[in-house]
């Protein structure tokens, strides 16, 4: 059996080891959280109704930050970005409508890309839009619009979004629980 001195030494040694393990685990957790939030994904709150009916006000969304490092931006994807010329604005969330180098025009409540009507199955019926364009999208930018076109501050107002301003692709609503869904 252990003597009293040996028991005290064992308790002290065990307590110190557990403290070291806890501090080490906490440091690694902070480093891992930083890496995940900086490079992999972030959780975003949507305060406005510009994406109704796809995303409702107060929905929480998962944004994959690395997505566009491995795949090109595609029309119809929902992106989170820093709006152009708005240094103090929180990030916006909108749908990619026009790609670099394309010409976009809105007439008769229809979006045209390079003269061809764009099919937008995600929009509510009878969406009314003011005529716009034609607008040539710069080679290093995209054109974004909210799904709730009548109540969306988007590229029709602030211009094309430089690709460097894109933070990531919104892929999932996770809150409230009754609205959890993959975003298409």
Q: Which DSSP state fits 86?
A: -
Q: How far apart are CA 184 and CA 70, in angstroms?
A: 18
Of the candidates 11, 12, 16, 50, the residue annotated as catalytic is: 50
User: Alpha carbon of 29 to those of 66, 78, 136: distances in Å?
Assistant: 20, 30, 46
DSSP H/E element including 50: none
Instruction: Please say if 86 is a catalytic residue.
Output: no
Of the candidates 94, 152, 155, 167, the residue annotated as catalytic is: 94
Instruction: Please say if 94 is a catalytic residue.
Output: yes
Beta-sheet strands, E only, within the chain: 41-45, 60-64, 78-81, 92-98, 103-107, 110-113, 116-117, 132-136, 141-145, 161-162, 166-175, 181-182
**Residue 71: both structure tokens together:** 């795949």
Best CA proximity match to 109, nearest among 91, 92, 125, 88: 125
| Residues known to be catalytic | 50, 94
């Amino acid at each position: 059996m252990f003597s009293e001195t040996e028991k005290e030494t064992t308790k002290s040694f065990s307590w110190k080891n557990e403290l070291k393990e806890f501090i080490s685990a906490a440091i690694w957790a902070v480093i891992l959280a930083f890496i995940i939030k900086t490079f992999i994904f972030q959780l975003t709150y949507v305060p406005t109704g510009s994406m109704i009916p796809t995303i409702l006000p107060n929905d929480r969304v998962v944004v994959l930050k690395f997505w566009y490092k491995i795949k090109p931006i595609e029309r119809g994807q929902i992106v989170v970005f820093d709006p152009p010329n708005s240094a103090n604005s929180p990030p916006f969330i909108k749908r990619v409508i026009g790609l670099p180098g394309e010409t976009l025009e809105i007439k008769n409540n229809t979006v045209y890309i390079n003269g061809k009507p764009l099919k937008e199955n995600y929009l509510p019926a009878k969406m009314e839009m003011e005529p716009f364009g034609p607008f040539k999208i710069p080679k290093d930018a995209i054109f974004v619009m909210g799904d709730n076109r009548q109540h969306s501050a988007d590229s029709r107002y602030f211009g094309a979004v430089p690709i460097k301003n894109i933070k990531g692709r919104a892929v999932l609503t996770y809150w409230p629980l009754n609205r959890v869904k993959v975003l298409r």
